[in-house]
Structure 1
Amino acid sequence: MTLSEFQHLRRLLLIGLVAIAFLCLLFVRSAWTGDTHETIEAAGMGLIVVGIAGRLWCTLYIGGRKAAEIVDIGPYSVCRNPLYVFSSIAACGVGAQTGSVAVAAFFLLGCALAFQIVIRREEGFLAEAFGEAYRQYLGRVPRFWPNFRLYADSATITVTTSRVRRTLIDALPFFAAMPAFEAVEYLQGTGAIHVALRLY
């Protein structure tokens, strides 16, 4: 399986996991009410915006080059997988649209853990493709949690606009979380959906 085929499979699995999580959350409601509930949702929307902006920032540097060269500037100078970090932040924001801190934390940690499996597989591809140069990058830059003291950049970068556009389109479904969970809350409020569990 090539790296691009593996990434396609990763996207399909992620879509499946999101669908399963949404079905489970149909029967979960936030125990927070009033202003606290709304504040959690608003903070979650902020996290979604940060996550999408971060994904776009990463794509400016790596779009179309992941399997062709080692990118070690910009976000890739502080973390080897910043795209996954920002995706996890956006996932946390999606979970927060339920108004529950617990669900937001579950989305963050669940996404981060799932990405660890993907990351290790990708590292095998990249180590085989780039050899010693990639192993040096592994030793220099952390896998997931950023170290901003390592930040390095270039005066110019070449941007593949089609990749940036694709990243933006791929990220837009994150915004669908707000109306989706508002609809679920409405149906729960009317009794059309039974609430089995309340979480803070």
Structure 2
Amino acid sequence: MTAHAPADATLTAHALLLDMDGTIVNSDAVVERCWRRWAAEHGLDGDAVMKVVHGRQGYATMAVLLPERPMELNHEDNRRMLAAETADVDGVVPVPGAPAFLAALAGLPHALVTSADRALSEARMTAAGLPMPPVRVTAESVGASKPDPEGFLKGAAELGFAPEDCIAFEDSEAGITAARAAGMRVIGIGPRAAAHAPDVAVADLTSVRVEGDGTDGRIRLRITAAP
């Protein structure tokens, strides 16, 4: 059963771990262009492909869609896909509320945990006009893609907090599964997240207000339901 944010709910954590695509950056237009083109090249149904691409690294998506294919071919295709996505930022915009949300996190413990590589994350954050968190876990940082929890566990460790003291922000099934496997609470952003029972689901980041609490060092999140 999907959780939905009641009016004036409050959550606290020592640190926040943020997915990028679909969570703070809306890159759906680019993802659709690149992955539907890849689907057509491999004789796959574009709609079916789009149901599994979100949250995972490209090679992991390809392994799901073409399970008999040698993994080295997936990695080769993934390198080409990353180059194409990095060069294409047309339509990349911030998720509503993301600029104010990230501005409020300045100086507070938070990290980016994304399936994008470093170059792609820089291209999309720049295109969306968002500041890059000082701590980031990208594709190069991990040996396993989401839904494996490795990225979230590394992000928590780099920030110096136990996973249970962190809240993850995610938009996809793979990301929510990864954060839960890491032992974190999850705030789901957007319609994809709402379908996978995060602890709290909101339409976008306009529903989340960040407050630093000087008394106990915690980050306080005030969450309001959409009107």
> TM-score, with normalisation over the residues of structure 1?
0.34
- Structure with higher Rg: it is 1
Higher strand share: 2
Higher helix share: 1
> TM-score, with normalisation over the residues of structure 2?
0.31
